[in-house]
Amino acid sequence: MTLTGKRAFITGGGTGVGAALARSFAAAGAEVVICGRSEAPLRAVAEPLGARWVLCDVTQEAEVKRAFAEAGPCDIVIANAGSSDSAPLHRTTLEQWNAMLAVNLTGVFLTFREAIQQLPGWGRLIAVASTAGLKGYGYVAPYAAAKHGTVGLVRSLALEVATRPVTVNALCPGFLDTEMTERSVANISAKTGKSAEEAKAVLAAMNPQKRLIQPQEVAAAALWLCADGSEGINGQALAIAGGEV
């Protein structure tokens, strides 16, 4: 496939899935613009690709507006920025709750709201959600609530744009082989005394294929949603989890 002539805007593009998305879309010929909160990782991803980068905290309305203004009209917008935290619900502070909703749900809302206003015509809006948007997991209730909210947002917006050449979908990977999962592994190790290898095996065991999902698998699914023949895929939450859900 080729995305020559298309501009792709990817939030959280400096690490993990965002970096894999940037590389895959650039390889497919798209002009890529990535955003995030830290300059160094954005530069490290963007410069070898000939891509552009902009600093942006997706929880801040003014910053999202500025980032889109700097990027210019975008055909493909991928709301990938996210963060995770874990604690039993009775120990979860309001600050933790608000932080999870801000980056994982409000950030998608602000990104998509700006995206839908500047789409030049044909468009693809994709949220990187999680299997936590399709099922529950213990000790991550705020994260799961935010990801469930993202899936609801996607399904609703998909209906609003259904008569246009625009689709809106969510990708819901299971535990990924990324920096975010490494932090989860460290958290499990600290709380249980398990080694990093044992903690990672606990997460991998949730996948019926007994493995972590690779970032490139999410990027491949995103490319498919932008390819010819995907026009009827709208308002869907696609699990990339080896059959977990």
Residue 139 annotated as catalytic: no
Joined tokens for residue 137: 């997991």
**Which DSSP helix (H) or strand (E) runs through 172?**
strand 166-173
Strand, helix or coil for residue 116: helix
Kindly give, in sequence order, each residue whose CB lies less than 8 Å from that of residue 5, ignoring residues fewer than 6 positions away: 29
Alpha-carbon span 78 to 138, nearest angstrom: 27
- Catalytic residue selected from 53, 68, 112, 143: 143
Residue 206, burial from CB neighbour count under 10 angstroms (0-12, 13-18, 19+)? middle
Kindly give, in sequence order, each residue whose CB lies less than 8 Å from that of residue 91, ignoring residues fewer than 6 positions away: none
Catalytic residues: 143
